[in-house]
């Protein structure tokens, strides 16, 4: 079970992401980036955060420590933004916190040189868990003490939004050509040889058991939370066993990324009034 802490002080919202997490101090003297059950993405985003993040940690990747955060909206009564207040009031109870990494910076291909082995492991995890949200436009990685840390897995596990389609997704090859680490030539074949045998049902049971029961309750089509947990385990175990059918390839080159960025900038400039078009986007 993830450790449970109590929020004592809400510091500030982080507006870069759509879920608007908040930096929060807690009774274990920790500072966490808290993601809320009341966000538009709902509880399934927190389920994905726990399963993918903790699976990545057990496979040797760096993921900030996670805790369950007991949140009372009264601790944020000084927050002036009404939309943030609405989010916090809708999130009373159990939420998810990730260890705040002070002084960290967003990853970009020029910020840190990543070797092919580490890049391959990260891309393999993303392919396994259907995480298509780690692109060069939105890397969802941080650089802290000159090391790469993985964050924001709420968009992964896309199969759990429609369980009837999950069997077809076992062998699906997701489009990861614009992965943020594609420019480093990720060795996904080596990662597959190393990691696929480690993703056993036993390991997956350990990871899935960390998800709080209340985030899994009342899922349509399932008789119990235990049955739902088993479905996550069975799906990911079957996908790991079929890895030869979905290993990603065809990553964008640095030249292609530069061309894509130039097209994006040109499109942005074209939509501006003439008097603004000389100012960078």
Lookup: tokens for 130: 């259907």
Task: Determine what percent of the chain is predicted with pLDDT higher than 70.
Answer: 93
Q: Given this model, what pLDDT does residue 228 score?
A: 98
- C-alpha 105/C-alpha 143 separation (Å) is 5
Task: Determine what percent of the chain is predicted with pLDDT higher than 90.
Answer: 82
Q: Given this model, what pLDDT does residue 49 score?
A: 98
Lookup: tokens for 259: 């061309």
Q: Is the pTM of the predicted complex or chain greater than 0.85?
A: yes
> Does residue 226 contact residue 158 with C-beta atoms inside 8 Å?
no
Q: What is the mean pLDDT of residues 83-107?
A: 96
pLDDT at 275 > cutoff 60: no
Residue length of the chain: 281
Q: Given this model, what pLDDT does residue 167 score?
A: 97
Q: Given this model, what pLDDT does residue 247 score?
A: 97
Lookup: tokens for 43: 């509880």
pLDDT at 279 > cutoff 70: no
> Does residue 71 contact residue 92 with C-beta atoms inside 8 Å?
yes
């Amino acid at each position: 079970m993830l450790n449970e802490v109590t929020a004592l002080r809400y510091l500030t919202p982080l507006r870069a992401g759509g879920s608007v997490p908040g930096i929060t101090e807690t009774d274990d003297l920790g500072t966490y980036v808290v993601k809320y059950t009341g966000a538009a993405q709902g509880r399934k985003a927190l389920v994905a955060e726990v399963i993918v993040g903790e699976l990545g940690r057990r496979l040797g990747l760096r993921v900030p420590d996670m805790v369950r955060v007991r949140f009372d909206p009264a601790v944020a009564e000084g927050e002036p933004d009404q939309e943030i207040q609405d989010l916090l009031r809708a999130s009373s109870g159990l939420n998810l916190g990730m260890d705040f990494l002070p002084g960290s910076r967003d990853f970009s291909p020029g910020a840190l040189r990543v070797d092919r082995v580490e890049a391959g492991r990260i891309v393999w995890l993303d392919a396994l868990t259907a995480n298509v949200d780690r692109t060069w436009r939105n890397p969802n990685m941080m650089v802290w003490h000159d090391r790469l840390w993985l964050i924001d897995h709420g968009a992964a596990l896309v199969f759990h939004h429609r369980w009837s389609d999950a069997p077809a997704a076992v062998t699906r090859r997701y489009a990861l050509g614009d992965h943020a680490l594609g420019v480093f030539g990720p060795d996904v074949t080596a990662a597959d040889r190393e990691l696929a045998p480690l993703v056993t049902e036993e390991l997956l049971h350990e990871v899935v058991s960390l998800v709080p029961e209340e985030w899994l309750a009342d899922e349509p089509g399932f008789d119990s939370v235990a049955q739902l947990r088993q479905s996550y385990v069975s799906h990911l175990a079957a996908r790991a066993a079929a890895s030869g059918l979905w290993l990603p390839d065809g990553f964008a080159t640095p030249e292609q990324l530069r061309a894509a960025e130039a097209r994006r900038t040109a499109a942005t400039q074209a939509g501006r009034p003439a008097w603004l078009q000389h100012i960078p986007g």
